[in-house]
């Protein structure tokens, strides 16, 4: 009898473990959306009892782990090309928008007072425009008292999706940049100081007068850094904010037939912020049952999580993009 009781206990314990292991969804990847995904996950668990375990290991790690099928979903700030997805048997959709913003520390000049464009940004980061009162900057800011001070450029020292978005913007905005540097998670910078992570760049800019760098929008707000207005491809001077990021997403070529592979940099919208990007979710095509559980979580987040995203300084996807994603799910996950 004791033996039978022990067997029954083990069977019950095994069944309990199996049932609860099905209630755990594991994801890994990009560091940028981690605060949002973890908050969404906590709220989702309260409602459904299902746990979302997301590990913030970087976009490269997320791509590698979903390719190796060691997680239920991967996350990357760089979209994979359709041919890369095909080769690895993956699906892909955007989850939230991020804006990359130039930030400056120029004593006497307030946030969003300075205007730059693709050419001036390019030449500053190439080290060709060396002074804040350079004629090209003055031409864009005729009413600003620009100091006769040398510009200190700050960039990322580590590989990152933020750098990929920023350098892609420079590549599309400036032939000189495209020919000499190009874009990617890591590039050979021509000038400047390197800071690790968004935090490193933010800290350098904060404590270095007359500097300029680039960070994710949330880090600019959280660190109270002065942001810059930009002239976009439509010729409009735009401010970095939720509206201009959403406009970029709404007017970008996010085509479900290409698995949403697109760059949002220099999007054509009249009020679109030109250095916008999305962070993506990657799924293994053949894992139908698991994928259904993953998309239930993101469907819930798209319906219930926008206010949370905004409070954490993220930009929710526009409804038009969410509708495309939901149609994509129905096409590929049955």
DSSP tally for the chain: helices H, then strands E:
14, 12
Question: DSSP for 41-86?
Answer: HHHHHHHH--EEEEEE--HHHHHHHHHTT-SSEEEESSPPPHHHHH
On the 0-12 / 13-18 / 19+ scale of CB atoms within 10 A, 232 is buried
Q: In which element (H, E) is residue 169 found?
A: helix 161-173
CA distances from 94 to 63, 64, 264, 315 (A): 14, 18, 12, 12
Side-chain half-sphere exposure of 326, counting CA atoms within 13 A: 14
Is residue 118 scored above 80 in pLDDT?
yes
- Could you tell me if residue 16 is inside a domain? no
- Could you tell me if residue 157 is inside a domain? yes
Q: In this structure, are 177 and 67 located in the same domain?
A: no
CA distances from 271 to 28, 186, 324 (A): 33, 29, 22
Domain assignment of residue 326, given as a range: 25-97+253-261+278-332
Q: In this structure, are 241 and 113 located in the same domain?
A: yes
- Could you tell me if residue 20 is inside a domain? no
Which range (14-18, 283-287, 319-323) has the least confidence?
Answer: 14-18
Q: In this structure, are 190 and 106 located in the same domain?
A: yes
Residue indicated by tokens 């994603």: 325
**DSSP-derived secondary structure letter, 128:** -
Strand partners, 282: 74, 92
Which pLDDT belongs to residue 218? 83
- Could you tell me if residue 119 is inside a domain? yes
CATH code where residue 169 lies = 3.40.190.10
Is residue 18 scored above 70 in pLDDT?
no
pTM exceeds cut of 0.75 = yes
Tell me the per-residue pLDDT of 179-191, one tens digit each, with 9 for 90 and over.
999 998 889 999 9
Q: In this structure, are 225 and 286 located in the same domain?
A: no
Which pLDDT belongs to residue 4? 43
Which pLDDT belongs to residue 10? 43
Give the other-Cβ count within 10 Å of 137's Cβ.
21
Cα separation, 181 vs 170, in Å, equals: 9
On the 0-12 / 13-18 / 19+ scale of CB atoms within 10 A, 149 is middle
Counted domains in the chain: 2
- Could you tell me if residue 121 is inside a domain? yes
Cα separation, 31 vs 213, in Å, equals: 19
């Amino acid at each position: 009898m004791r033996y039978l009781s022990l067997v029954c206990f083990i069977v019950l314990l095994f069944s309990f473990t199996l049932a609860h292991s099905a209630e755990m969804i594991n994801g890994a990847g990009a560091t940028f959306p981690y605060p949002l995904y973890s908050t969404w996950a906590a709220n989702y668990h309260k409602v459904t009892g299902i746990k979302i375990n997301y590990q913030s290991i970087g976009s490269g790690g997320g791509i590698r782990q979903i390719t190796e099928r060691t997680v239920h979903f991967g996350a990357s700030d760089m979209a994979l090309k359709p041919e890369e997805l095909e080769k690895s048997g993956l699906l892909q959709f955007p989850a939230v928008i991020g804006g990359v913003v130039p930030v400056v520390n120029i004593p006497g000049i307030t946030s969003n007072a300075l205007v730059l464009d693709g050419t001036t940004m390019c030449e500053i980061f190439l080290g060709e425009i060396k002074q804040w009162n350079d004629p090209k900057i003055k031409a864009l800011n005729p009413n600003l008292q620009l100091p006769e001070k040398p510009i200190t450029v700050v960039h990322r020292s580590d590989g990152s999706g933020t750098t990929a978005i920023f350098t892609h913007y420079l590549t599309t905005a400036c032939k000189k940049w495209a020919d000499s540097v190009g874009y990617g998670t890591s590039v050979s910078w021509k000038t400047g100081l390197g800071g690790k992570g968004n935090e490193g760049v933010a800290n350098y800019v904060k404590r270095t007068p007359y500097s300029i760098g680039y960070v994710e929008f949330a880090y600019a707000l959280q660190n109270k850094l002065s942001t810059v207005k930009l002239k976009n491809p439509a010729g409009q001077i735009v401010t970095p904010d939720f509206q201009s990021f959403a406009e970029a997403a709404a007017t970008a070529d996010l085509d479900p037939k290409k698995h949403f592979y697109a760059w949002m940099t220099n999007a054509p919208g009249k009020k679109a912020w030109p250095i916008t990007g999305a962070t993506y979710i990657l799924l293994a095509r053949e894992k139908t049952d698991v994928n259904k559980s993953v998309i239930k979580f993101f469907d819930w987040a798209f319906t219930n999580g926008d206010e949370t995203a905004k409070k954490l300084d993220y930009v929710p996807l526009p409804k038009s993009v969410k509708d495309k994603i939901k149609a994509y799910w129905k096409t590929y996950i049955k």
